[in-house]
Structure 1
Amino acid sequence: MIKARVTDLFPATLNGHSSAVAVNDKGVVIGRDDFGTGLVWMPSTPNGIVGSDVPLPALIEPRRRIVGEVTPTAINTGGTIVGFCSTSDPSGAPVTRAFFFIPSDTTLTDLGTLDVDAVGLPWQSSKAFGIDDIDTIVGWAHDSSGIEWAFVGSPGASTVQSFFHGHYPSQALGIRNGMIVGDATIADAAGVVRRQAFRSLGNGTLEFLGTLLPSPLSPTQFFGDSRANGVSNQGTIVGISDALPPIVRMGLIFGVPSIVPPLPFGPLPSEALAVATVSTKDVVVGHYWPSPPAQDTAGFMFDNTNGLVDLNTRLLDTDWHVDSATGINKEGQICGIGTHSSLGGPRAILLTF
């Protein structure tokens, strides 16, 4: 059995606490510390286990406004980073803004919102959660009424654009090969307003993907909430859903192109956070609760051949415990959050098999 080396990514953070949120196909990892500083870890060689980290900038364009907390959320193969930061609007009022950052830049760039005034100034808040390898960015942004809508943007655009504004309040959480996933507001089979997972090609329409609670009266209706967190090159969509019995939150896989009803990973509460095509096989990562209702989680990886594997059984250094696996690249490297028996945690980590 191949085991993983653990790299402690941001050991110099002031209190040693940090988290990793995504890793690109070259092994570059993004994360943040407990003080709200966005961080980037660069391997010395592509996909290496030794590297160095640098903070993300503390200014955002245009007008070089000062930012507070910076939360990077996604990075593509070219190294463009997206996320959100706390800053101010043109009046000085506090807002949260989606940003992108190109490695050659010295500032973050504000992606704006759907509330733009007559002179082109954006108001209210936005967040970016995904970017693909052609720099298409997705997230959510407020309109003039303060409602959140999924958006599509790019580094070259003057502001973000909603791709189904006026239909369902929504957020886009991932994008791959033109497929956008996230969750949106819908009335479930009982008529209760819920948030359920969707996929879309960004053409003004979306397809709701259901939950793990199908209605016995209709194959196209579901109870409860769900969320799609990520999508692979092969179209596998992963996330989380309400489930029975009892009602718990469980990781799910929507399949290729989608399976109705969605399929859970197993009998324990869990959440699937990311998926990547490794060689020809889609591998899902996330965390689960080995002993519910205890709050301690363990990171997992899942594929159709091996099923769910607790990553803590695959470590060379058993002083580490993987609390959550948050990202995976095509080389099979997994980033996440771990705790060390003497160094403590939570700490951003990278697993390299």
Structure 2
Amino acid sequence: MRKLVLGFILTLVAGLATACQPPPTARYAIQDLGTLGGVSASADDVNNAGHVVGWSMDSSSRQRAFRSDGVTMTDLGTIGGRESSATAINDAGEVVGGSLVTDNTRNHAFLRPPPGPMGDLGTLGGTNDTSYARDVNASGEVVGGSYNTDDLLHAFQRGPSTNNVMTDLGSLSQGGYSTATAVNNNGDIVGNSENSAGQTRAFLRSGLYTGGRMVDLGTLGGSTSLAADVSTSGFVVGSAFTASGQRHAMGIVYGGAMVDLGTLGGPDSDARAVNEAGHVVGRSTTSSGDGHAFLHEGSSMVDLNSLIPAGTGWVLHEATGINDHGQIVGSGTHNGVYRPFLLSPAPEASIGDASVTEGDSGTRLATFTVSLDHTTSRSVSVGWATSNGSASAPGDYTAASGTVTFAPFQRTRTLSVTVKGDLAVEANERFTVTLSAPNGVTVGDGVAQGSIVNDD
């Protein structure tokens, strides 16, 4: 759910680092969402249920809006024409985007409820009869752009607050263009508009903070800025040009100064979305000039390619959406083919301590529980091995190693180490079991103590 963010403090105390706290660095499981039968597809947004929307080529080489639950990709149809594309989905499952109408020459904004079908939202009355929806909030407020009766491209809003009539939001200047890109749960809208100097600027339109007026959010020293997303508590992300002419990802809290989010070492970057925790995703060039997807973690930008397992065949080029569970969608090349991806935070594996009474003879088992902090729909595993402490193998216990495998949606597993009994009077002893070689998981508390309790 890339547009809905809660809980920010609306004061900029020490730059962006105080506006969004960094999450722990995590590895992600990556999933190729596939296509509708064509060669390529692209993901644009993900809601808190993990449902993804975007576009895909189908087997007839048509571009079609899709929704994916991570297992099945569904063609959302059109409003009469050949092609369509989805741009956003809210937690109710309502999808918005654009579709060609019956003559296949005009594009109209659409709203599709979960059962369907796709509904035509109309236009602002321009002669070219064109509109496109960019976002929908929890209340069903839709924003985007359409040509009005003066044949100017203007931002629009349509929903309960406008009696479901498409309403022209105006622009920053008389005769200037505008388009809305995001709306939060408070009804605050951001987008881009031409100012009186003919420059494109990010804008905010808020009933509470701007009195319902469109306000220029400024730049990073250059002449242009672009807003892509806004949180419910007032954090806007996008991009802006610097004084040296470079385009950089930016963030700005209502009433604060625009902050440069940096790059991955190259000259340009662009923020696309932000989640409830303030984690920002987008695209940036690297020092070698490649375009890579990024995750901005408070004060640092991280290449998402470094957070997925090696050897997957993926190159992640852009990240376009992030939900409140940290799932990220975007597009990249998988074994050279352009595909949409879904990144899900890998579960964290931890192991608990175990204790066993030694006994006078024979053997007993010390049983350790390995658990995941959350389940996953895929099979994952983690290796383990014993090591000596005050207890030594092979006299006190049998050295062992192995792999614990979790089936899909399984959260706990156990492993056992053989402890040997004796008649010696001695202190309690310990050995260690350490987790290693994670596959599809990260390791949290990865060291456990095995206690051998003397009973002689």
| Superposition TM-score tier, normalisation by shorter sequence | 0.7 to 0.9
Read off the aligned partner of 1:174 and give its amino acid letter: A
Question: Which residue is 1:3 aligned to?
Answer: 27
- The alpha-carbon deviation at position 129 of structure 1 amounts to 0.3
Aligned equivalents of 1:289 and 1:199: distance in 2? 27
Q: Distance in 2 between matches of 1:345 and 1:243?
A: 34
How many angstroms apart in 2 are the aligned matches of 1:185 and 1:204?
A: 18
Structure 1 counterpart of 2:92: 78
Q: CA deviation at 1:163?
A: 2.6
Deviation >4 Å, runs of 4+: 155-158, 165-168
After TM superposition, the structure 1 = structure 2 runs for residues 1-353 of structure 1, keeping only pairs within 5 Å, are 2-11=26-35, 13-15=37-39, 17-34=40-57, 35-43=62-70, 51-58=71-78, 60=79, 66-88=80-102, 94-105=105-116, 107-115=117-125, 124-154=129-159, 157=163, 159-164=165-170, 167=174, 168-176=176-184, 177-187=186-196, 192-201=197-206, 204-213=212-221, 223-245=222-244, 247-254=245-252, 256-266=253-263, 268=266, 269-277=268-276, 281-291=277-287, 294=289, 296-304=290-298, 307-319=300-312, 320-341=314-335, 344-353=336-345
Paired residue type of 2:27 = K
Counterpart amino acid of residue 173 in structure 1: T
TM superposition shift of 1:93: 7.9
CA separation of 1:12 and 1:138: change in aligned 2, threshold 3 A: closer
Query: What is the alpha-carbon distance in structure 1 between the residues aligned to residue 91 and residue 235 of structure 2?
Result: 19
**Distance in 1, Cα, partners of 2:85 & 2:74:** 14
SS in 2 for 1:193: coil
Q: What secondary structure is seen at the aligned counterpart in 2 of 1:37?
A: strand
CA distance in 2, matches of 1:12, 1:196: 37
Amino acid at match of 1:110: D
Number of residue pairs matched by the alignment? 307
Instruction: State the distance in 1 between where 2:36 and 2:193 align.
Output: 39
Tell me which residue corresponds to 2:440: none
Q: CA deviation at 1:239?
A: 0.5
Q: CA deviation at 1:258?
A: 4.2
Unpaired runs of 5+ in structure 2?
1-24, 346-456
User: What amino acid is aligned across from residue 160 of structure 1 in structure 2?
Assistant: M
What is the RMSD of the two structures over their aligned residues, measured on CA atoms?
2.2
Displacement of 1:179 after TM fit?
1.3
1:262-289 alpha-carbon deviations (Å, 9 max, x no partner): 4333464100001111xxx300000100
> How far has the Cα of 1:69 moved from its partner?
1.9
Instruction: Determine helix, strand or coil for the equivalent of 1:210.
Output: coil
Question: Could you give the per-residue CA deviations for residues 267-313 of structure 1, whole angstroms, max 9, x where no partner exists?
Answer: 64100001111xxx300000100036x3x3110011315x1111011
CA contact (8 A) 1:230 1:239 kept: yes
Q: Which amino acid aligns with 1:37?
A: R
Distance 2:230 2:258 in 1: 17
Q: Taking structure 1 as the reference length, what is the TM-score of the superposition?
A: 0.81
Task: Say if 1:5 and 1:317, in contact at 8 Å, map to a contact too.
Answer: no
Deviations 1:39-77 (A, max 9, x none): 11014xxxxxxx21110113x2xxxxx212211111100
